[in-house]
């Protein structure tokens, strides 16, 4: 009846005023407008859910969401909520008058017009979402964890003056390269990282990038580390082309600090692709090395020696790491002498203090006696004090399995905890554990214990671990001395040990070295772990067919970086194999 009346009125109105016809159209389309509104709400809900799923996935990957997308989600949710409330209110509003005898045309007109307006808002939001395409998020460059906190850094007086001198040098427009040098374990890396943290806080540089060079520099790896921190993707294989692209990217930074840490020999920074001096006054280089001559050969204009801690500073650091209970009257004299025996080396003070934390006086006295006993031999390049104290920390680790894990870490560092888990599983480290989750938890607990003992670095990561190079060198020395592992790292020229020597090692570890003349048969009947990751991985030789003939005890075999045409037939003899990485 109502629709019939409206239809007749519309036919009459058409002859007079088009605007009036449009107004009466709201009455005729009242129900259609509400149905249309409900349909558009459902469509926008679906669109909103779809975008929210993509946003959630991007956030899980650590991506940054575009601000316009976040604003759209808020606006869409508000509009949907507003439209739903309008529908609910419209359904409860009386649309009849004169005690229900006649339709309330005014109310119907207002509700219908409002419904049409709400539909337009919903449609516009839906169209706006379609214009996003795939631009939901953008990649961010994660800030280094150590740039956010100075946890573990102690502001010694001598170090503070050095920090100030480094800052003065790097803010001098005429200085491009600054060097820091000192013996292993003295705290060079800690100092330059603290400088970088302070420089970032004070906005001295727009960007700070860090790369560890190590004993055998890998130019591609250095280029990749710097590029990644600048958001630059280097897909080229040729070092020269990568260097050109990195050079151009660095030139775009007005003020940037590039830290190259742990340099053992001359490194041509131009080969890496780092502009400096007249090429780019805004690019400053901060280098660290054990050898001042290396810094001079690289053109370092200002060089700062990091010396040992004085007696007062050494005791302060020792007390922080061991705990205030060392001030106990009965213990203090022995504790003071132990601290002195560490020779002012921060790494030695830290590791021995952690090892002796909460130990009884007889243990302290025994340690003091061991530290004061001259070593027959130490590892090349490692100070005697550091060697003694790190070996002592290893000796006082609780349980044989924790010691084995520490030595295993030294062989594979830096790497992921997942790799450590694969090897530990294969070597039978979790024989009394029956659930995979429990094994993971146990390994993480061991890693935390090693970090608490200062034998692994605190890097803020739960997935990866690393080790100070001095700690690593001492650990590898221990492993070789005690015939636990034959290890070769970063050596261009080396020879396989003789057959008698090989028979004694349960582990052989060859990393980042050139592998030549693989023996026809590996004479190693006690071998349980074989790791071969050659530097010349792209031209790795094939493993001889009978190579594994006398290594039947192997439990873990990792040939990941070896490009093999085929596996030797003797691999069938490895009946104890538990972990195979290819």
How far apart are the C-alpha atoms of 456 and 443, rounded to whole Å?
Answer: 14
Handedness of CA 340, 346, 348, 353 (dihedral sign): positive
CB 306 within 8 A of CB 156: no
- pLDDT score recorded for residue 407: 94
Sequence ranges of the domains in the chain:
2-138, 145-305, 310-396, 483-581
Residue carrying the six token digits 């922080």: 320
Ramachandran area for residue 566 (φ above 0: left; ψ -120 to 50: alpha; else beta): beta
Choices 1.10.8, 3.10.530, 2.60.40, 2.10.260: CATH for 310-396:
1.10.8
CB 568 within 8 A of CB 530: no
- Residue 248's H or E segment, with its range, is helix 239-251
How far apart are the C-alpha atoms of 348 and 338, rounded to whole Å?
Answer: 11
Residue carrying the six token digits 């491009």: 176
Superfamily name and number for 145-305? P-loop containing nucleotide triphosphate hydrolases (3.40.50.300)
- pLDDT score recorded for residue 17: 46
Token representation of residue 199: 């420089």
Token representation of residue 317: 């650091």
Residue carrying the six token digits 């106990």: 328
- Residue 304's H or E segment, with its range, is strand 302-305
- pLDDT score recorded for residue 539: 47
Ramachandran area for residue 185 (φ above 0: left; ψ -120 to 50: alpha; else beta): left
Gyration radius (Cα) of the chain, Å: 35
The 3-state DSSP class for residue 557 equals strand
Taking alpha carbons only, the member of 473, 371, 456 closest to residue 417 is 456
DSSP secondary structure string for all residues of 332-377: HHHHHHHHHHTTT-HHHHHHHHHHHTT--HHHHHHHHHHHTSPPS-
What pLDDT, in 10s, does the model give residues 531-544?
Answer: 988 776 544 457 88
How far apart are the C-alpha atoms of 104 and 121, rounded to whole Å?
Answer: 26
- pLDDT score recorded for residue 567: 87
pTM over cut 0.85: no
What pLDDT, in 10s, does the model give residues 338-377?
Answer: 988 888 888 888 888 888 888 889 989 988 887 776 554 4
The dihedrals phi and psi of 507, each to the nearest 5 degrees, come to: -145, 140
How far apart are the C-alpha atoms of 525 and 541, rounded to whole Å?
Answer: 23
How far apart are the C-alpha atoms of 445 and 501, rounded to whole Å?
Answer: 35
What lies within 8 Å, CB to CB, of 354 at 6+ separation is 321, 322, 393, 452, 453, 454
How far apart are the C-alpha atoms of 512 and 280, rounded to whole Å?
Answer: 34
Which parts of the chain register pLDDT below 50?
Answer: 6, 8-17, 94-95, 98-101, 376-378, 538-540
CB 349 within 8 A of CB 318: yes
Rounded (5°) CA angle 427-428-431: 175
CB 476 within 8 A of CB 497: no
How far apart are the C-alpha atoms of 278 and 351, rounded to whole Å?
Answer: 44
Token representation of residue 128: 């706006």
- pLDDT score recorded for residue 139: 63
The dihedrals phi and psi of 529, each to the nearest 5 degrees, come to: -135, 120
How far apart are the C-alpha atoms of 51 and 451, rounded to whole Å?
Answer: 42
- pLDDT score recorded for residue 402: 93
How far apart are the C-alpha atoms of 174 and 292, rounded to whole Å?
Answer: 21
Handedness of CA 150, 155, 161, 162 (dihedral sign): negative
Length of the chain: 582
Ramachandran area for residue 461 (φ above 0: left; ψ -120 to 50: alpha; else beta): beta
The dihedrals phi and psi of 69, each to the nearest 5 degrees, come to: -70, -45
Token representation of residue 556: 């873990």
């Amino acid at each position: 009846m109502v629709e019939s009346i409206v239809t007749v009125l519309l036919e009459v109105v058409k002859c007079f005023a088009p605007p009036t016809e449009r107004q009466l159209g709201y009455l005729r389309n009242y129900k259609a407008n509400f149905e249309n509104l409900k349909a558009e709400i459902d469509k926008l809900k679906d669109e909103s859910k779809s975008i929210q799923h993509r946003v959630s996935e991007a956030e899980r990957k650590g991506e940054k969401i575009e601000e316009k997308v976040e604003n759209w989600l808020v606006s869409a949710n508000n509009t949907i909520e507003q439209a739903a409330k309008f529908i609910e209110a419209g359904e409860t509003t009386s649309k009849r008058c004169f005690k229900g005898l006649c339709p309330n045309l005014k109310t119907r007109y207002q509700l219908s017009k409002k419904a049409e307006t709400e539909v337009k808002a919903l449609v516009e939001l839906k169209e706006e979402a379609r214009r996003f395409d795939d631009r939901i998020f953008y990649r961010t460059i994660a800030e280094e964890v150590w740039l956010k906190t100075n946890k573990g850094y102690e502001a010694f007086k001598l170090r503070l003056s050095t920090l100030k001198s480094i800052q003065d040098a790097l803010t001098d427009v005429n200085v491009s390269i600054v060097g820091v040098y000192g013996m292993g374990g003295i705290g060079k890396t800690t100092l330059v990282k603290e400088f970088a943290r302070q420089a970032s806080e004070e906005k001295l540089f727009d960007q700070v990038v860090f790369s560890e060079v190590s004993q055998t520099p890998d130019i591609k790896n250095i280029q990749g580390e710097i590029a990644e921190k600048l958001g630059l993707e280097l897909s080229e294989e040729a070092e020269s082309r990568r260097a050109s692209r990195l050079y151009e990217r660095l030139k775009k930074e007005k003020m940037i600090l590039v830290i190259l840490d742990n340099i053992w020999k001359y490194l041509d920074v131009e080969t890496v692709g780092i502009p400096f001096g007249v090429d780019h006054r805004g690019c400053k280089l901060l280098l660290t090395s054990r050898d001042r001559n290396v810094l001079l050969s690289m053109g370092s204009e200002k060089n700062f020696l990091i010396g040992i801690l004085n007696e007062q500073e050494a005791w302060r650091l020792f007390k922080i790491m061991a705990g205030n209970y060392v001030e106990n009257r009965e213990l203090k004299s022995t504790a003071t002498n132990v601290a002195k025996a560490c020779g002012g080396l921060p790494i030695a003070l830290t590791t021995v203090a952690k090892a002796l934390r909460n130990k009884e006086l007889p243990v302290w006295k025994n340690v003091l006696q061991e530290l004061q006993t001259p070593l027959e031999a130490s590892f090349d390049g490692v100070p005697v004090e550091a060697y003694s104290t790190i070996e002592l920390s290893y000796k006082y680790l609780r349980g044989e399995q924790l010691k084995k894990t520490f030595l295993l870490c030294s062989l594979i560092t830096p790497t992921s905890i997942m790799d450590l888990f694969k090897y530990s599983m294969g070597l039978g480290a979790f024989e009394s554990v029956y659930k995979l989750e429990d094994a993971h938890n146990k390994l993480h607990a061991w890693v935390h214990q090693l970090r608490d003992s200062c034998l692994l670095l605190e890097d803020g990561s739960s997935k990866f671990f690393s080790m100070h190079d001095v700690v690593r060198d001492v650990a590898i020395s221990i492993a070789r001395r005690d015939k636990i592992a034959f290890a070769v790292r970063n050596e261009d020229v080396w020879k396989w040990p003789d057959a008698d020597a090989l028979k004694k090692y349960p582990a052989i570890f060859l990393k980042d070295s050139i592998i030549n003349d693989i023996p026809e048969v590996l004479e190693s009947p006690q071998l349980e772990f074989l790791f071969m990751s050659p530097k010349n991985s792209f031209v790795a030789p094939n493993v001889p067919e009978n190579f594994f003939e006398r290594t039947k005890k192997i439990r873990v075999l990792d040939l990941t970086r070896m490009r093999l045409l085929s596996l030797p037939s003797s691999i069938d003899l490895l009946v104890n194999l538990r972990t195979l990485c290819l």
